[in-house]
Amino acid sequence: EDQVTQSPEALRLQEGESSSLNCSYTVSGLRGLFWYRQDPGKGPEFLFTLYSAGEEKEKERLKATLTKKESFLHITAPKPEDSATYLCAVNTNAGKSTFGDGTTLTVKP
Amino acid sequence: DVKVTQSSRYLVKRTGEKVFLECVQDMDHENMFWYRQDPGLGLRLIYFSYDVKMKEKGDIPEGYSVSREKKERFSLILESASTNQTSMYLCASNDPPLGDQPQHFGDGTRLSIL
Protein backbone atom coordinates (compact mmCIF):
# COMPACT_ATOMS: atom_id res chain seq x y z
CA GLU A 1 0.00 0.00 0.00
CA ASP A 2 1.27 3.47 -0.91
CA GLN A 3 2.18 5.58 2.11
CA VAL A 4 3.24 9.18 2.57
CA THR A 5 4.35 10.47 5.98
CA GLN A 6 5.11 14.09 6.74
CA SER A 7 7.04 15.35 9.74
CA PRO A 8 6.85 17.22 11.93
CA GLU A 9 3.08 17.70 12.24
CA ALA A 10 3.62 21.26 13.39
CA LEU A 11 6.63 23.56 13.32
CA ARG A 12 6.99 26.94 15.00
CA LEU A 13 9.86 29.16 13.88
CA GLN A 14 11.05 32.64 14.60
CA GLU A 15 11.30 34.92 11.60
CA GLY A 16 14.65 34.27 9.92
CA GLU A 17 15.12 30.84 11.53
CA SER A 18 15.71 28.35 8.70
CA SER A 19 14.44 24.77 8.88
CA SER A 20 13.26 21.78 6.84
CA LEU A 21 10.04 19.82 6.43
CA ASN A 22 10.20 16.12 5.62
CA CYS A 23 8.05 13.92 3.38
CA SER A 24 8.93 10.23 3.38
CA TYR A 25 7.15 7.86 1.01
CA THR A 26 6.70 4.20 0.16
CA VAL A 27 5.08 3.74 -3.22
CA SER A 28 5.26 1.35 -6.13
CA GLY A 29 6.40 3.23 -9.19
CA LEU A 30 6.97 6.92 -8.41
CA ARG A 31 5.69 9.17 -11.18
CA GLY A 32 6.22 12.46 -9.40
CA LEU A 33 6.27 14.14 -6.02
CA PHE A 34 4.34 17.37 -5.52
CA TRP A 35 4.50 20.03 -2.82
CA TYR A 36 1.49 22.24 -2.14
CA ARG A 37 0.83 25.11 0.23
CA GLN A 38 -2.58 25.42 1.91
CA ASP A 39 -3.74 28.54 3.72
CA PRO A 40 -6.64 28.37 6.20
CA GLY A 41 -9.98 28.25 4.41
CA LYS A 42 -8.36 27.76 1.02
CA GLY A 43 -7.57 24.88 -1.29
CA PRO A 44 -4.01 23.64 -1.76
CA GLU A 45 -1.85 25.71 -4.09
CA PHE A 46 0.81 24.01 -6.20
CA LEU A 47 4.46 24.80 -5.38
CA PHE A 48 6.82 22.22 -6.93
CA THR A 49 7.03 18.97 -8.86
CA LEU A 50 10.02 16.64 -8.52
CA TYR A 51 10.34 13.64 -10.80
CA SER A 52 13.63 11.91 -10.03
CA ALA A 53 16.11 11.44 -7.20
CA GLY A 54 18.66 14.24 -7.04
CA GLU A 55 16.31 16.82 -8.51
CA GLU A 56 15.96 20.20 -6.78
CA LYS A 57 13.55 23.10 -7.33
CA GLU A 58 13.63 26.59 -5.81
CA LYS A 59 11.17 29.41 -5.42
CA GLU A 60 11.95 32.44 -3.29
CA ARG A 61 12.72 31.16 0.23
CA LEU A 62 11.67 27.57 -0.54
CA LYS A 63 13.78 24.76 -1.93
CA ALA A 64 12.53 21.21 -2.53
CA THR A 65 14.79 18.19 -2.88
CA LEU A 66 14.13 14.53 -3.64
CA THR A 67 15.82 11.22 -2.82
CA LYS A 68 14.59 7.69 -3.48
CA LYS A 69 12.73 7.57 -0.17
CA GLU A 70 12.00 11.13 0.89
CA SER A 71 11.71 14.78 -0.02
CA PHE A 72 12.64 17.85 1.95
CA LEU A 73 11.18 21.32 1.77
CA HIS A 74 13.85 23.70 3.02
CA ILE A 75 12.73 27.12 4.19
CA THR A 76 15.47 29.74 4.35
CA ALA A 77 14.99 32.84 6.52
CA PRO A 78 11.21 32.42 6.70
CA LYS A 79 8.81 35.33 7.07
CA PRO A 80 5.40 35.36 8.81
CA GLU A 81 3.70 35.19 5.41
CA ASP A 82 5.23 31.73 4.93
CA SER A 83 2.92 30.45 7.68
CA ALA A 84 0.67 27.77 6.16
CA THR A 85 0.17 24.03 5.96
CA TYR A 86 2.53 22.36 3.50
CA LEU A 87 1.28 19.19 1.83
CA CYS A 88 3.27 16.56 0.03
CA ALA A 89 1.66 14.28 -2.57
CA VAL A 90 3.10 11.32 -4.41
CA ASN A 91 1.80 10.19 -7.80
CA THR A 92 2.36 6.67 -9.02
CA ASN A 93 2.54 5.07 -12.45
CA ALA A 94 -1.06 4.00 -11.94
CA GLY A 95 -2.01 7.66 -11.91
CA LYS A 96 -2.98 7.61 -8.25
CA SER A 97 -2.17 10.48 -5.87
CA THR A 98 -1.48 9.85 -2.20
CA PHE A 99 -1.30 12.87 0.08
CA GLY A 100 0.46 13.25 3.39
CA ASP A 101 -1.27 14.83 6.39
CA GLY A 102 0.74 18.01 6.07
CA THR A 103 3.05 20.10 8.24
CA THR A 104 1.59 23.26 9.74
CA LEU A 105 4.24 25.95 9.79
CA THR A 106 3.93 29.03 12.01
CA VAL A 107 6.52 31.80 11.66
CA LYS A 108 6.54 34.33 14.48
CA PRO A 109 7.76 37.89 13.84
CA ASP B 1 -4.35 31.19 -14.25
CA VAL B 2 -6.45 28.07 -13.72
CA LYS B 3 -9.59 28.71 -11.79
CA VAL B 4 -11.53 25.96 -10.09
CA THR B 5 -14.76 27.24 -8.59
CA GLN B 6 -16.84 25.37 -6.04
CA SER B 7 -20.40 26.58 -5.80
CA SER B 8 -20.65 26.88 -2.01
CA ARG B 9 -18.06 27.70 0.65
CA TYR B 10 -20.29 26.53 3.51
CA LEU B 11 -23.28 24.20 3.46
CA VAL B 12 -25.47 22.83 6.24
CA LYS B 13 -27.78 19.89 5.51
CA ARG B 14 -29.78 17.33 7.46
CA THR B 15 -29.26 13.59 7.63
CA GLY B 16 -31.01 11.73 4.86
CA GLU B 17 -31.01 14.66 2.46
CA LYS B 18 -29.62 14.32 -1.06
CA VAL B 19 -26.77 16.83 -1.37
CA PHE B 20 -25.18 18.21 -4.52
CA LEU B 21 -21.72 19.82 -4.58
CA GLU B 22 -20.79 21.56 -7.80
CA CYS B 23 -17.38 22.29 -9.28
CA VAL B 24 -16.47 24.19 -12.45
CA GLN B 25 -13.01 24.64 -14.01
CA ASP B 26 -12.14 27.12 -16.74
CA MET B 27 -8.97 25.60 -18.24
CA ASP B 28 -10.43 22.83 -20.39
CA HIS B 29 -8.77 20.17 -18.21
CA GLU B 30 -9.50 16.54 -19.02
CA ASN B 31 -9.25 15.23 -15.44
CA MET B 32 -11.33 16.27 -12.47
CA PHE B 33 -11.25 15.00 -8.90
CA TRP B 34 -13.25 15.10 -5.68
CA TYR B 35 -11.49 14.77 -2.32
CA ARG B 36 -12.50 15.09 1.27
CA GLN B 37 -10.10 16.51 3.84
CA ASP B 38 -10.31 15.56 7.50
CA PRO B 39 -7.87 16.34 10.34
CA GLY B 40 -5.37 13.53 10.77
CA LEU B 41 -6.53 11.74 7.61
CA GLY B 42 -5.21 14.07 4.94
CA LEU B 43 -6.86 14.31 1.54
CA ARG B 44 -8.70 11.20 0.45
CA LEU B 45 -9.89 10.65 -3.10
CA ILE B 46 -13.60 9.99 -3.49
CA TYR B 47 -14.02 9.87 -7.29
CA PHE B 48 -12.27 11.13 -10.36
CA SER B 49 -13.19 11.59 -14.01
CA TYR B 50 -10.85 11.52 -17.00
CA ASP B 51 -13.43 12.47 -19.61
CA VAL B 52 -17.03 13.54 -20.01
CA LYS B 53 -19.40 10.86 -18.71
CA MET B 54 -16.41 8.79 -17.48
CA LYS B 55 -15.78 8.19 -13.80
CA GLU B 56 -13.59 6.05 -11.61
CA LYS B 57 -13.89 5.22 -7.94
CA GLY B 58 -11.25 6.56 -5.62
CA ASP B 59 -10.36 5.30 -2.17
CA ILE B 60 -13.61 6.13 -0.36
CA PRO B 61 -16.54 6.14 -2.84
CA GLU B 62 -19.15 4.61 -0.51
CA GLY B 63 -22.13 6.89 -0.01
CA TYR B 64 -21.17 9.16 -2.92
CA SER B 65 -21.80 9.36 -6.64
CA VAL B 66 -20.62 11.80 -9.32
CA SER B 67 -21.79 13.27 -12.57
CA ARG B 68 -19.82 14.78 -15.44
CA GLU B 69 -22.14 15.82 -18.23
CA LYS B 70 -19.90 18.63 -19.49
CA LYS B 71 -16.12 18.82 -19.57
CA GLU B 72 -15.91 21.84 -17.28
CA ARG B 73 -18.34 20.65 -14.60
CA PHE B 74 -18.01 17.83 -12.09
CA SER B 75 -20.67 17.24 -9.46
CA LEU B 76 -20.44 15.24 -6.25
CA ILE B 77 -23.68 13.76 -4.93
CA LEU B 78 -24.31 12.51 -1.41
CA GLU B 79 -27.21 10.14 -1.99
CA SER B 80 -28.46 10.17 1.61
CA ALA B 81 -26.33 12.42 3.79
CA SER B 82 -25.05 11.09 7.10
CA THR B 83 -23.22 12.83 9.95
CA ASN B 84 -19.95 11.03 9.12
CA GLN B 85 -19.92 12.89 5.82
CA THR B 86 -19.37 16.18 7.62
CA SER B 87 -16.08 17.33 6.13
CA MET B 88 -14.23 19.74 3.88
CA TYR B 89 -14.73 18.76 0.24
CA LEU B 90 -12.17 19.81 -2.36
CA CYS B 91 -12.46 19.68 -6.13
CA ALA B 92 -9.39 19.63 -8.37
CA SER B 93 -8.51 19.40 -12.05
CA ASN B 94 -5.50 18.77 -14.26
CA ASP B 95 -4.50 17.55 -17.69
CA PRO B 96 -3.39 14.04 -18.60
CA PRO B 97 -1.45 11.97 -18.25
CA LEU B 98 -2.66 11.11 -14.78
CA GLY B 99 0.26 11.31 -12.40
CA ASP B 100 2.42 13.80 -14.28
CA GLN B 101 0.69 17.09 -13.72
CA PRO B 102 -0.04 19.03 -10.54
CA GLN B 103 -3.65 19.39 -9.54
CA HIS B 104 -5.39 22.75 -9.33
CA PHE B 105 -7.76 22.99 -6.41
CA GLY B 106 -10.86 24.97 -5.59
CA ASP B 107 -11.21 26.64 -2.20
CA GLY B 108 -13.40 23.88 -0.83
CA THR B 109 -16.91 23.41 0.51
CA ARG B 110 -17.21 22.94 4.25
CA LEU B 111 -20.21 20.66 4.62
CA SER B 112 -21.97 20.05 7.93
CA ILE B 113 -24.57 17.30 8.22
CA LEU B 114 -26.84 17.70 11.25
Q: What is the pLDDT of residues A55-88, one digit of tens each?
A: 999 999 999 999 999 999 999 999 999 999 999 9
B-chain CB neighbours of A45 within 8 Å are: 105
Neighbours of A64 (CB within 10 A): 24
Can you give the C-alpha Rg of chain B in angstroms?
A: 13
Q: What pLDDT shows up at residue B2? A: 65
Q: Which residues of B touch A89 (CB under 8 A)?
A: 43, 103
Cβ-based interface (< 8 Å): residues of B facing A: 4, 40-45, 90, 92, 97-100, 102-108
Strand bridging mode A19-26 / A70-75: antiparallel
Average pLDDT rounded to a whole number, residues B37-54: 92
Q: Report the alpha-carbon distance of residue A52 to residue A93 in Å, rounded.
A: 13
> In this structure, which amino acid lies at residue B41?
L
User: CA neighbours within 13 Å on the CB side: how many for B1?
Assistant: 7
Q: What is the pLDDT of residue A29?
A: 83
Residue B1 has pLDDT above 80, yes or no: no
Residues 6+ apart with CB under 8 A from A60: none
Q: Which chain B residue lies closest to A38 (C-alpha atoms)?
A: B107
| Residue A62 contacts B, CB cutoff 8 Å | no
Q: What is the pLDDT of residues B31-45, one digit of tens each?
A: 999 999 998 888 999
The beta-carbon neighbor of B42 closest among A41, A91, A102 is A102
pLDDT band at A27 (very low <50, low <70, confident <90, very high): confident
